[in-house]
Amino acid sequence: MSRAALLLLSLAALPATAQAPGALMPLPVQLRWDPGALPLDSTLTARLVAGPDDRLERGLARALGRLGRRIGQRVATGAGTDPAARLVVTVASPGQAVQTPDEDESYDLRITPERIELTAPTTVGALRGLETLLQLVAPAPGGFQLPAATITDRPRFRWRGLLLDTSRHFMPPAVVKRTLDGMAVVKLNVLHWHLSDDQGFRVESLRHPRLHQAGSDGLYYTQQELREIVAYARDRGIRVVPEFDIPGHATSWFVGYPEFASAPGPYTIERRFGVFEPTFDPTREETYAFIDSFIGETTTLFPDPYWHIGGDEVDPTQWNQNPRIQRFRRTRNLRDNEALQAHFNERLGRILTKYHRRMVGWDEILHSTLPSGTVIQSWRGTEYLGQAARQGLRGILSAPYYLDHMRTAAEVYVVDPLPTGLKLSAEEEANILGAEACMWAEQVGAETVDSRIWPRMAALAERFWSAASVRDVPDMYRRLSQVSLELERVGLTQEGHTARMLRQLTGRRDNPLLEALLTATMPPSFGQRAQLQRPIQSTPLTRLVDAARPDPWLRSRLEQQARRVVADPAGAVEARAELQGAFAGWQTLGAAIRALADTVPLAADGIPAAVAMGELGRLGQEALDRRGAGGSDGAWGAAALARLDSLAQPQGLLRLAGVDAVRTLVRGTP
């Protein structure tokens, strides 16, 4: 393939990024565009109308710094009393000292050609409004401007979270901080920080130092770092809910303290991924004294009123094989191991209450004996959310929002945190606090995590904040494309991810062929990759699959073009041409990638996908021809759909992103 052809192929993959105003994400509750615009330059100054509030001042300074970097000119923070200030931020109260789900996050933003007025009942509301303001910055002839607008906004759900697993692969503080910066951009308010698991204990404990000394490979957060990160989050209106997963998923605790496990040990840090036997011994008072002491220590680090106990996937082996534990069960009339775990949780609950913390746990902890303040995080299925709500417990939904399942932004975006199928009363619905997306890190490291979370997380942030009726997928992608660039401005790395990983993988500065491959391929789901590659903790995450994006822009672009063709087979000329170009390019990839692999060893990973893309391209072209001809598809269509199901399976470690578009063409219905 010629160099120029390759370039065109990879270029075709990139959608033009629209410059229209209104790249807001999440969309506000009410938005009215008004006539005119306010010009932005270094003459803009800001004024705070608020009580003394360091957090608000820092937040405003950060926002003005970002504004200045955006327009390439200094924007001064301005004197507090400047009557000529054109940005006036009025805040009634600094808000809760320790933020809870009840914090008021609403704000009003009014932009006229002369002035910007941001008004909020709390500092957190003002921080949300400043993000909206920054998203409105638009180019203008000779400079930048803010379109005149009137916005009233507040979140639909009060718990809008992201779980970050830092146990399976450690994420340095800088990664956690830039994740928080990204969360702030899209108005998320909970970092659920998964801090321990079989593969690593990531928190420095002064009371029980063998936890981090023996259980972390030296990769842990010092107490100073934890305090800094919690403060960093609070500065952005984000709560930090720590999770220490017990009684299972606990191997790393027992490396230093084997005496609290249900079998004698010794233990080493688990390097594989899965569900493992080591489990806390729920029958010994020493266990609870130890946990009590540890929780007491962590509550000095994590002020949040919630504390996540994990509680998922308890392997019963150690309990079943320990005669003393079996005896304990019998003497206490605990029917089964679930009842034993409920007993454990009940003891935990009492400890947490002593430290003024509410319990959060995965849906396995659901049990009739749970205290009413408990929060159930539903991961195995939406039904547990309903069960909890009916039982009067609070709930947050995660089951549909696992980022490592590698669903597309569109797939996760359309799933509402309040599933209609649950048939809850209004009172029961009120128990549902919100939702969390989960970034488990078995197959993700510090180098790749941004590309797995972002920009998909921004679409979910809109789902958790905006009205249920906001669900126009093409418009979501249009705005997501812009917001992803704003996320890069605060330090996230997903935009340059593929190019950077390819340079490192090939040792070449310029990788048009592999770029072309990765514009139209995606990583497999967590389960598929676990089965195909069986990675362990030290498996390098530097292969083509790690350079791939979960939802490359070309996927939604081609799918939209396919819908246009199907809706108007004779008329959609541009859409047809774009599809044809992609399909033709794909048919040349197999041979080209095969040749490349002669000198670039790791390119060989891409051969199966490249070959399959050739077939997909031919199938797509055929479907396109048939759409033009308008004939009946009959047997051809059925065979093509079956073939597409097969092509939708992982090819090597990559999935073909073009299957959706071709399926639309074959089906012939948009």
When asked if residue 141 is in the footprint of its own copies (CB under 8 A), the reply is yes
Provide DSSP, 16-34: PPP--S---SSPPSEEEEE
In the three-class reduction of DSSP (H, G, I as helix; E, B as strand; rest coil), residue 416 is classed as coil
Residues 523-582 that bind its own copies (CB under 8 A): 536, 538-540, 542-543, 553
Residue 14 touching its own copies (CB under 8 A): yes
Residue 361, strand partner residues:
376
Long-range CB pairs of 508-514 (<8 Å, 24+ gap) are 508/600, 512/3, 512/6, 512/7, 512/9, 512/10, 513/1, 513/6, 513/589, 513/592, 513/593, 513/596, 513/603, 514/544, 514/547, 514/593, 514/596, 514/603, 514/606
| Residue numbers 54-73 binding its own copies by CB under 8 A | 68-73
Among 482, 519, 525, 561, binds its own copies (CB under 8 A): 482
Task: Give least dist CB 493 to its own copies, A.
Answer: 9
Residue 15 or 608 with smaller CB distance to its own copies? 15
Closest CA to 320 of 285, 269, 279: 279
Position 209 contacts its own copies (CB under 8 A): no
Q: CB 385: neighbour CB atoms within 10 A?
A: 28
509 binding its own copies? (CB under 8 A): yes
Q: Residues 555, 660: contact at Cβ < 8 Å?
A: yes
Classify burial at 471, counting beta carbons within 10 Å of its beta carbon; exposed 0-12, middle 13-18, buried 19 or more.
middle
Cβ-contact 305, 98 below 8 angstroms: yes
- Distances, alpha carbon 412 to alpha carbons 170, 297, 331, in Å: 26, 37, 47
Residue 599 as a binder of its own copies (CB under 8 A): the answer is yes
Burial class (CB in 10 A: 0-12, 13-18, 19+), 420: exposed
Q: Rule CB under 8 A: which of 162-181 touch its own copies?
A: 172, 174
One of 80, 139, 274, 392 touching its own copies (CB under 8 A):
139
Closest to its own copies by CB, 195 vs 600, is 600
Return the range that interacts with its own copies (CB under 8 A); candidates 150-158, 386-394, 478-486, 614-622. Answer: 478-486
Q: What amino acid occupies position 62? A: R
Is 338 part of the annotated catalytic residue set?
Answer: no
User: Which residue, 242, 320, 252, is CA-closest to 281?
Assistant: 320
Distance of CA 22 to the CA centre of its chain: 23
Query: Does residue 499 touch its own copies according to CB under 8 A?
Result: yes
- Contact between 367 and its own copies by CB under 8 A: the answer reads no
- Catalytic annotation, pick one of 313, 428, 488, 622: 313
* 1-9, 157-165, 325-333, 361-369 -> range binding its own copies (CB under 8 A): 1-9
To its own copies, the closest distance from the beta carbon of 567 in angstroms equals 27
Smallest Cα–Cα separation from 161: which of 239, 217, 219, 99?
239
Q: Applying CB under 8 A, does 500 fall inside the site for its own copies?
A: yes
Question: CB of residue 384 vs its own copies: minimum separation in angstroms?
Answer: 37
Q: Least CB distance from residue 538 to its own copies, whole Å?
A: 5
By the rule CB under 8 A, 601 interacts with its own copies: yes
> 520 and 656 in contact (C-beta within 8 Å)?
yes
For its own copies, the closer CB: 400 or 550: 550
**What is the rounded CA–CA span in Å between residue 643 and residue 659?**
10
Sign of CA dihedral 511, 459, 177, 48: positive
Q: How far is the CB of 179 from its own copies (least distance, A)?
A: 14
Residue of the chain from 312, 411, 495, 622 that contacts its own copies (CB under 8 A): 495
Q: How near is the Cβ of 244 to its own copies at its closest, in Å? A: 24
Q: In sequence order, what are the beta bridge partners of 307?
A: 359
Site string for its own copies, 623-662 (x = CB under 8 A): ----------------------------------------
- Min CB(67)–its own copies separation in Å: 9
Integer Cα distance of 30 and 243 in angstroms:
36
Report, as residue numbers or ranges, the catalytic residues.
313
Which positions lie near its own copies, rule CB under 8 A?
Answer: 3-4, 7-8, 11, 14-17, 19, 68-74, 139-144, 172, 174, 222, 224, 481-482, 485, 488-489, 495-496, 499-500, 503-505, 507-510, 536, 538-540, 542-543, 553, 598-602, 604-605
